Chain A
Amino acid sequence: RKEVEQDPGPFNVPEGATVAFNCTYSNSASQSFFWYRQDCRKEPKLLMSVYSSGNEDGRFTAQLNRASQYISLLIRDSKLSDSATYLCVVSNAGNMLTFGGGTRLMVKP
């Protein structure tokens, strides 16, 4: 079983749409959770950390369900500039980040 599993997509949505991505992780000892964004041939950039209580940053909302080992990201009012690959990332008590394969989002005009 993959450590961090994501639907690769692509998700093709029109501007203004709401889109949700899901991710599951296998290591129940995982302690930190993140969504990173990666543009084509660029480095991953932190979008947001994910907390047990859920958290929101503008149009982006992240949720964590530890019992189900499930993380989600909701993007409201999609913009063309949101087109990218979204990486679900978990880490244990140490420093190692474990990445999912990413979900590709294409926002169309």
Chain B
Amino acid sequence: EPEVTQTPSHQVTQMGQEVILRCVPISNHLYFYWYRQILGQKVEFLVSFYNNEISEKSEIFDDQFSVERPDGSNFTLKIRSTKLEDSAMYFCASSRDRGQETQYFGPGTRLLVL
């Protein structure tokens, strides 16, 4: 069964450093998403991406964040200058379409900012 993959599984970084989290969505999916989950809290939407542009973003997704689809398979989330409060699990998801279509989640990248 096709699945979303994410690398790395864990990332430790110093505050102020840039990090890039990588995702390979399911191959025939057209919509891509990033969510985050701070330890002990709920899953929160960051951004959705379709046709090489952001289609929706939350208040969390400020100028420190950017997304890119650099080639036909990868989808990346960049955090320009990490803060302590960016420590969280970051989940990538993809879906064939929007609305009722199921979003399939990757296993996540656990980011720890020191």
Chain A interface (Cβ < 8 Å from any Cβ of B): 31-32, 34, 38, 41-46, 49, 87, 91, 93-102
Contact = CB atoms under 8 A, between A and B. Distances in A.
Given A99-B42, A101-B42, 6 more contacts: A31-B99, A42-B108, A46-B102, A95-B55, A97-B33, A97-B43
Interface of B: 31, 33, 35, 41-45, 48, 50, 55-56, 58, 89, 91, 95, 98-100, 102-108
Contact of A43 (B44, B55, B56, B108): B108
B56 A32 contact: no
A97 B55 CA distance: 13
B99 A32 contact: yes
Interface of B is mostly: strand
Contacts of A31: 99
B107 A43 contact: yes
Contact of A49 (B58, B95, B98, B102): B102
Given A32-B100, A43-B107, A95 B56 contact: yes
